[in-house]
Amino acid sequence: MPLYEYHCESCEHDFEKRRAIQEADAPLQCPTCESKEVTRKLSLFFALTKSDAGTQSLSDGGGCGCGGACACGSHSMN
Ligand SMILES: [Zn+2]
């Protein structure tokens, strides 16, 4: 399961959380101030998880579930 980095817009707290790929952009509360103003930061998780998740849909260019609209870097490799 990939490790994502999140940033709380309310208290400027950065934190990490392991979530399923399909839950990466699901609503999340800040563990410090419980705000829901949390944004996901881009991380290198693709390089770390390819070995155990590569047999899924990552290789078809849509692995992050965004349809290519994000800047996760997984689409430019095609
Ligand atoms: Zn916060």
List the chain domain ranges.
Answer: 3-60
pLDDT in tens, 8-67: 999 999 999 999 989 988 999 999 999 999 999 876 555 555 555 555 544 455 556 666
Quote the pLDDT of residue 38.
95
Predicted TM-score (pTM) of the model is: 0.54
Return the percent helix, strand and coil in the chain, to nearest 5. Answer: 20, 20, 60
Q: Which residue shows structure tokens 């490799």?
A: 77
29 alpha carbon to ligand 1 midpoint, in Å? Answer: 8
Quote the pLDDT of residue 17.
92
Identify which of 51, 47, 13 has the alpha carbon closest to the alpha carbon of residue 5.
Answer: 13
Q: Which residues contact 3 (CB under 8 A, 6 or more apart)?
A: 16, 17, 18, 43, 45, 48
Q: Is the domain 3-60 a CATH 2.60.40 member?
A: no
Residues in the chain: 78
Longest dimension (CA), the chain: 40
65 alpha carbon to ligand 1 midpoint, in Å? Answer: 26
40 alpha carbon to ligand 1 midpoint, in Å? Answer: 13
